[in-house]
Amino acid sequence: MEFVNDMQSLNRKLLSAYEKHGKKTAFTAGISGIDAAGKGYTSKKLQESLEDLGYIVANINIDPWQNPLPVRLRKDNAAENIYENIFRWQQFFDQLIFPSQKNKSIYLKTEGIRSDADIYYTLVYDYKDIDFLFVEGILLFKKRFLLHYDFKIWIDCSFETGLKRAIQRNVENLDEARLIHDYDTYYYAAQQLHFERDDPQKAADVIFCNDLIMSKA
């Protein structure tokens, strides 16, 4: 693994890996980290840089593929349940990621779910002649998923900084005490399991430091 702390270096590492890609499938980069690490921001910046160079990027976030609240936020064995059941993993890969990789194109009309409520909405994926396929989200570097990525980027961020960012953005529309409780009980607890079982940082090809506290340590 290599460590970088600026977007230009990260972009160069990604392009270098792409140029060595000898497969006929779409070059697939997994972009993962803890909640509120800056995964979405980073993937968007990488997408913009690549599109400026003329590449076609399918930037796919796993969040709309969550299970309903009663499934993912069970109180019994909460961390384990989030780790296993927060997303519809099989459908996500079978219906969206694998066809996108194989064909370098996808048209899929499906339903996404909001992260703050069990409200579904129409979700359309429509990409042609994909050069870069980004798969972005938490828990993506479970051992059983690693073979699905040609390049793996870990967005490094402390739980302390992540929680501060989560409180600021509050996409769940919760009061602060409830938000902290849910992150401690469900999301960050599950991500601690991820560290223990999968060592996602070790699995990454590049670690991008997105935390001023950690970069100054």
Number of domains in the chain: 1
Which residues in the chain land under pLDDT 70? 172-173, 212-217
Strands 106-113 and 120-127: antiparallel
Nearest to 186 by CA among 85, 93, 39, 113: 85
Is 93 contained in some domain?
yes
pLDDT of residue 168: 87
Host H or E run for residue 106: strand 106-113
pLDDT of residue 179: 87
In whole angstroms, what is the distance from residue 85 CA to residue 159 CA? Answer: 21
The CATH number of residue 181's host domain is: 3.40.50.300
Contact 85, 68 (CB under 8 A): no
Is 35 contained in some domain?
yes
pLDDT of residue 212: 67
pLDDT of residue 116: 83
pLDDT of residue 216: 41
pLDDT of residue 174: 76
Tokens representing 207 are 């670690």
Is 66 contained in some domain?
yes
Is 142 contained in some domain?
yes
Each residue's pLDDT tens digit, 4-49: 999 999 999 999 999 999 889 999 999 999 999 999 999 999 999 9
Is 214 contained in some domain?
no
Is 182 contained in some domain?
yes
Is 200 contained in some domain?
yes
Tokens representing 24 are 């006929």
Is 213 contained in some domain?
no
Domain range for 25: 2-208
